[in-house]
Structure 1
Amino acid sequence: MAHVHRDRLRPGTAVSLLAVAGLTATALCAPAGAAAPAPGPAARLQPAAEDDGAGCPVPAPGLPAADAKLPDPFRKADGTRITAKSDWRCRRAEIRELAERHVYGDKPAKPQRVTGTVSRTGITVNVTDNGRSASFSASVELPGGSGPFPAVVVLGGLGADTAAIKAAGAAVVRLDPYAIGREGTPRTNKQGAFYTVYGSSSSTGLLLAWAWGVSRLIDVIEQSDGSVLRADATGVTGCSRFGKGALVSGAFDQRIALTMPIESGTGGAPVFRGVAQESGAQPLSSAYGEQPWLGDAFGSFTGNPAALPVDTHETIAMIAPRGLFLMENPHVDWLAARSGSVAALGGAEVYKALGAGGNISYWSDVQDGTHCAARAEWRTPLQQNIRKFLLGTGGDTGVFRISSRKHGDLAQWRNWQTPVLADRR
């Protein structure tokens, strides 16, 4: 029986994908400097809604037979495959439901009341929902110029090179994820603003709680007068555990124009099915037990990821066709970069099917093995992505630079092929 996720349904949120049909397919392996038509303002690349599939009827998901291969992102819950680019909106809603139910926990819809302020030095956020309230804040660092500026939310002070972000013309918004969801707590007594509102025993993990916090920041930016920060041009980045949070933030809020996770490791980009087979990678049980990053329901899959009806290539696909720049470190086995490359390659198939192959980049070909270092190899593609997706002044094509040390083979992980999707709406 079909149903609509009760927590996500809001009147008027079923917005069609903007500009998907009009985006031009581009080669994934093109040189970093290859030219492509500028996309125009970032608002043309993503819907105005946090979740444009909130009105889609989503069948109650069951658990299919275990399969060691990656699930087909194009196959709907009813067993048929999507045939048009416009079908992706509701297929994405199905993937979101599976990801919430089995991996991350539930992300509630926009709270009943969100207020706050935006200044040249900070953002305050006040949230009220179901009679419970919480507040948190973030600092703002502006680049030179008069603005208004696009903003890149940096989770936990670890993420893409902030000097390079500001030099490209974007503001840096520093958000402390622990104000939203703290580490070091048991799953039965989670703490932070999210859990103050939705309960300390909530089954939602920290990653989606942090994503909720990013979304509430965007709500406040949207409500501001627009003189400091642009509401239509927000990015998010983070490294390590905060890279996990950045990926989930971009996947679950379609207002985010550019997502830039760095070295996210197990529980982040790497496909769950691959981690157990990658020597030295952090095991799923370890990532689940180290902190309550993942939703409580994921605990039943740590020893059998083949039983998951969803995997992280589909988390990546949820970001399509918006900008995505994945950065990984092949020098630290614990970070599972080989499985990360498989996830990126799998998610890129959805980008290509939507005619947006040039909007995803992946780069693990780096010399410095230090975890969360500001790498020279990433500076140019970072700024190219900011210009393209946040400033609307660039048109560089996405590039895949996968290290030979950790190069995954997507062909070994799928038994499905990428369809040619029609342009009809």
Structure 2
Amino acid sequence: MKTDCLKIRIFVILLLVAFSFSGCKKNAKSQFPDFPPANVTSLMDRDQMLAQLGITLPQLPPKLQDPNAPKNTFPTNPQNPEGNWTDSLRNPDAPISRSVFGLWNNYSDRSNGLYPGPDSARVGNYTPIDLLRMKNGKLITTPEEWWEKRRPEIVRDIEDQMYGRIPPKEILPAVTWSVTTSTGGSGNSAYVQKEITGTIDISRYPQVRNRPEIKATLRTPAKATEPVPVIIFFGGFGNVNDMYFERSGPEGWGTCTFDPNTLQPDNGAGLTSYLIGLVNQGNWRKPTDWGSLVAWSWGISRLIDYLETDKDVNAKILGLSGVSRYGKATIVAMAYEPRIAIGFPGDAGSLGTKMNRRHWGQDLENSCDANEYHWMAGNFFKWAGELIPGQYLPRKIEKCPVDAHSLLALCAPRPVFMNGGSTSSWADPFGVFLTAVNASPVYRILGEKGFITPDRIPVIDKAYIDGTIGYRVHKGGHTDAPNWPAFHEFAARHFDITTLVSSVSSLTLPAKEGSSASFTIKSNRKWEVINTADWLKINSRSSGGSDTITVTAAANTQGTGRSAVVTIKTKGREQTVTVNQASSRAGLGIKSDKFTGARTKELRIGGVENSQASFDIISTTAWNIRVTYPPAESMDRRFMMGSGNWITLSDESGVNDKTIMLTAAANPGVQTRSATVNVQAAGLPPVSIIVTQEKGAPTLDIMADTLFFTAKGGNASPMFVRTNTTWTLKSSDAWISATPSSGGNFSQIAVIAAENTGPSERKGSITVSVEGLQPKVIVVRQEAPEMK
């Protein structure tokens, strides 16, 4: 009996010991469920990846006590020392924050940099990565060695250490396409628009929480007579299709906007759903799995599959462009997809076009929080933190085998244009310049010029476009807009893109003999002029480049107006100018059974896309129509709402009686908007119509789903809100504060958490509301204080 009892006691002791040791060996991953829950957050997903990698975030001191805080800097808000800091310049485009690994942002440069400063040691000294030297030390000297030996090494490191691998083809989903075609614009600005939807097969994992989809909008010139090159644009806010086409259409390009968020959303919570979750069958990512940037590039590749089948598209000349995070996506997609012929990654910053092994402005470590890590493969976390424990610099990025110039080198020998802004300090415009310089040896070994610059430091507003790598730093902030003329010129040096632009679509002449008018043609080709009307004479039948055409009319003795069409043609392009001549007996009026208003004629039109209304012109002469819009309230509002030219006329000019159809773009705002349509004829008073469009539907997009705070509290990364109306904000708990509490359009919200003095982690929320939509809730989590 005693023996049995002793055996039992020994057994119990062994169990306790075993339990104790199993607790000591507990894998960090065991705190996470084996399979991601439906309510997974970005923070949970980020921390699960860190646990897979065996990485623990360091315990950082309060910022005021941090010996690594940059000299001559201080909290932006003295009452909130854990928030962002600043310096004496107080540049809002140069926030000074501290990464979760303890690295502070720096804005002081070496004396030979674009922005000299006294604190040059913080830029960091790192061993250069020689793109032409293999890992075994062998220097490559021929194009064949680049393609067969060195480039594959860089590809593997880019995939495995930074951005992730595209899964094998056998587990990637098939895509089927549907296209809805419409027309828009008028005169020589008319276009064919195609709404493209790629339906993704989910048979590999039908339970996927959110079905991914490819959405794009293609516009090509209606008067193109052969396929046109197309620039694909990542994202964009508001009615960007008008803005892009107005900008690049006259330069010979079609445009195509791509919405990456329907394929893979811009947050970490979606990594176990949408495309990545579909391929992984809902599981957590592994450290080498693709992040959002590469998933978006896969979507671009599939979109190119479609564009190669479209008869209106010259798929041999496809460009790609995006700004900021979409600039990062642009350079990544171009490195992964060889069919992209030219790229414009705009102001893309770290993990994009600036050198990461240089601590100036945005840093790789800034993307290790829960709001940006999802862009990358999990392995990129390995390059954050101190290389030597207890020593601030250098950082682990010293051991990373690739940098931004490696990414750019994978685009070679294709042309790439990059930009920065003189006040866009966060994106480090000089770091982008260095990327261009450092990638050039690869271009040169492939027989291209690479980056050509006589300047050691870039000159603001100077376009460096003589080589295969282009660059321009404009005077101003975080945008690509001022650099598009330079890009178009850069592209024209590398591709034979036909341009043909008339300064007008129509002209109106008086009835008398010898009435004349002139217009200009701009082209990079020889062109001919065709006129079949015997009453109209032209001064030139052919020309080339830019020239002026003058038309002269005989007297119109008829009692009605008359028209002729002058056609300007070159290979692949056509422009027309309608010449309307007034009659000797002029009359003008308008009518519609839809008109309202006593003194002024008013017409209502729907708020949805392609809403229409019409009126009749009653006339015996030549007339023209002009639409005027109220001035935009601000450039920001124009950016959100598009160009403002939201009415398309079936005819902008003509003669005699005509029914005029008005077609409206969707109203992107939640207020009605108005425009004035003026019908004019020479010698007669104009008649006007006030056109009022119904309200549009409200929108709300928040670029965050979870905010995380340490126990000390302070500021989170800024939270961005996009809407077409006004929003209000409410915090669930007193320890969470956010400013401003209301706003509209595109806003940045600063969220602050008080110090957590309780015994455990706490959780709250911020609710953002707009009228007419379900409120959006952002989870706020704060860790427990460290046990003493």
TM-score by length of 1: 0.68
Check the 8 A contact 2:419/2:429 in 1, yes or no: no
Instruction: Identify the match of residue 296 of structure 2 among 191, 197, 210.
Output: 210
Displacement, 1:125? 2.1
- Does the alignment pair 1:372 with 2:450? no
**1:179-198 alignment, distance < 5 Å:** 179-186=262-269, 189-198=271-280
Kindly indicate whether structure 1 or structure 2 has the higher relative contact order, using CA contacts under 8 Å at least 6 residues apart. 1
Compute the displacement of 1:75 (Å).
Answer: 1.6
State the Cα distance separating 1:373 from its structure 2 match. Answer: 5.1
C-alpha deviations, 1:269-326, integer Å up to 9, x for none? Answer: 111101x2x2xx1232212323111211101102211110111101001101011111
Cα drift, residue 96 of structure 1: 0.9
Is the contact between residue 415 and residue 494 of structure 2 (CA under 8 Å) also seen in structure 1? yes
Further displaced range: 317-326 or 194-203: 194-203
Is the 2:354–2:429 contact (alpha carbons within 8 Å) kept by the matching residues of 1?
A: yes
- The corresponding residue for 2:363 is 283
Q: Which residue of 2 aligns with 1:70?
A: 128
Matches within 5 A, 1:211-250: 211-222=297-308, 224=309, 226-250=310-334
The answer to whether the Cα contact below 8 Å between 1:137 and 1:175 also exists between their aligned partners in 2 is: yes
Structure 2 counterpart SS, 1:142: strand
* Equivalent-residue separation in structure 2 for 1:190 and 1:70 (angstroms): 37
For residue 40 of structure 1, what is the aligned residue in structure 2?
none
Matched residues in 2 for 1:173 and 1:198: separation?
29
* Counterpart-to-counterpart distance in 1, 2:246 and 2:216: 18
Moved more, 294-303 or 200-209: 200-209
CA spacing shift, 1:258–1:122, aligned 2, 3 Å: same
Give the number of the structure whose residues are more often helix, by fraction: 1
The structure 2 residue matched to 1:88, chosen from 146, 149, 154, is: 146
How many Å apart are 1:109 and its aligned residue?
5.3
Out of 386, 391, 401, the position equivalent to 2:491 is 386
Q: Is the 8 A contact 1:215 1:253 kept in 2?
A: yes
Deviations 1:68-91 (A, max 9, x none): 223111122333122211222222
1:174 and 1:198 mapped to 2: Cα distance?
28
CA distance 1:109–1:143, shift in 2 (3 Å): farther
Q: CA–CA distance in 1 between the matches of 2:491 and 2:154?
A: 27
Does structure 2 conserve the Cα–Cα contact (< 8 Å) formed by 1:70 and 1:311?
Answer: no
2:488 aligned partner, one-letter code: Q
Is the CA contact (8 Å cut-off) linking 2:232 and 2:321 kept in structure 1? yes
Q: Which residue identity does 1:131 align to in structure 2?
A: R
SS state at 1:310 partner: coil
Q: Is the 8 A contact 2:321 2:343 kept in 1?
A: yes
Q: Does 1:116 align with 2:174?
A: no
Describe how 1:46-195 pairs up with structure 2 within 5 A: 68-90=126-148, 91-108=150-167, 111=172, 113-117=174-178, 120-128=193-201, 131-132=204-205, 134-146=212-224, 147-157=226-236, 162-186=245-269, 189-195=271-277
- What SS does the corresponding residue of 1:315 show, helix, strand or coil? helix
Please report how far the alpha carbon of residue 134 of structure 1 lies from its aligned counterpart in structure 2 after TM superposition: 4.4
Evaluate the alpha carbon distance shift between residue 117 and residue 352 of structure 1 in structure 2; reply closer, same or farther with a 3 A threshold. Answer: farther
Q: Which residue of 1 aligns with 2:534?
A: none
Provide closer, same or farther for how the CA distance between residues 373 and 257 of structure 1 changes in structure 2, counting only shifts above 3 A: closer
Q: Is the 8 A contact 2:228 2:253 kept in 1?
A: yes
Distance 1:392 1:129, change over 3 A: farther
Counterpart of 1:183 in structure 2: which amino acid? D
* Deviation readout 1:119-152 (Å, 9 max, x if unpaired): 5412222444883584322011223532412111
- Matched position secondary structure for 1:184: coil
Q: Is the 8 A contact 1:271 1:340 kept in 2?
A: yes
Q: Residue 359 of structure 1 aligns with which residue?
A: 468
User: 1:148-203, CA deviations, whole angstroms, 9 ceiling, x for partnerless residues?
Assistant: 1211110012799553322211111111111222123348x444334433455333
**C-alpha distance in 1 between matches for 2:479 and 2:272:** 27
Residue 428 of structure 2 is aligned to residue 345 of structure 1: no
Tell which deviates more after alignment, 151-160 or 297-306: 151-160
Distance 1:326 1:145 in 2: 31
The structure with the largest strand share of the pair is 2
- Kindly tell me the number of residue pairs found equivalent between the two proteins: 318
Distance 1:68 1:199 in 2: 40
Contact 2:177 2:196 in 1 (8 A): yes
Aligned-pair identity (%): 27
Partner of 2:421: 329
How far apart, in 2, do the equivalents of 1:393 and 1:306 lie?
47
State the alpha-carbon separation in 2 of the partners of residues 271 and 199 from structure 1.
35
- Counting only pairs closer than 5 Å after superposition, residues 30-49 of structure 1 correspond to structure 2 as none
